[in-house]
Amino acid sequence: MEESISRVPAKEVVVPFSRIQEFCEIIGERNAAYSDPEAARRFGLKKIPLPESYLLTMIAPLSHDLFTTGIGHLVGDLIKGIIHTSSVIEFYEPLHCDTPYHLKLGLSRLARKRGKMGEYLVGTFPHKVLDAEGKLVAMDSHVFFLRTI
């Protein structure tokens, strides 16, 4: 499993202000801090922040690569089904538009379990967001049940 994770390269992402404007329009977000630099400054922010709900959109490519480039490529024949059971999001600093971030996938726990429906590998896969200096600024830890039998 560690080899599968190592196949998923870190990604650099910069979210342009225009993308956040579109996102806020789609979800009906009306907070001026996301659309007006002056309003953001009034809230004490130097740049337009990313809405917290945007994190899932931002890190989605890591989950895609986990199940294609990573697990799908190396052990895909052994996996008979995938169940996403939980996600725990932690923010350590606000995220901002037009700021480079590095997305990195990890594996923090892997265990075998047996249930009524078969045998599973239960994995916790932290999706990390690092700033340009490599400091962890946000993390979304996903737990997946990977059915093996």
- The residues near 6 (Cβ < 8 Å, ≥ 6 apart) are none
pTM of the model: 0.86
Here the CATH number for the domain that contains residue 10 is 3.10.129.10
Which structural domain range is residue 97 located in?
Answer: 2-15+49-147
Question: What would the two tokens of residue 133 be?
Answer: 């200096």
Q: How far apart are CA 80 and CA 88, in angstroms?
A: 25
What pairs with residue 102 in β-bridges? 12, 130
Q: Express each pLDDT in 65-124 by its tens digit.
A: 888 877 766 566 788 888 899 999 999 999 999 999 999 999 988 899 998 888 888 999
Q: How far apart are CA 130 and CA 52, in angstroms?
A: 15
CB 126 within 8 A of CB 139: yes
CB 116 within 8 A of CB 72: no
Asked if residue 143 belongs to a domain, the reply is yes
Asked if residue 44 belongs to a domain, the reply is no
Asked if residue 56 belongs to a domain, the reply is yes
Q: Express each pLDDT in 33-59 by its tens digit.
A: 999 999 999 989 889 999 999 999 999
What's the domain count of the chain? 1
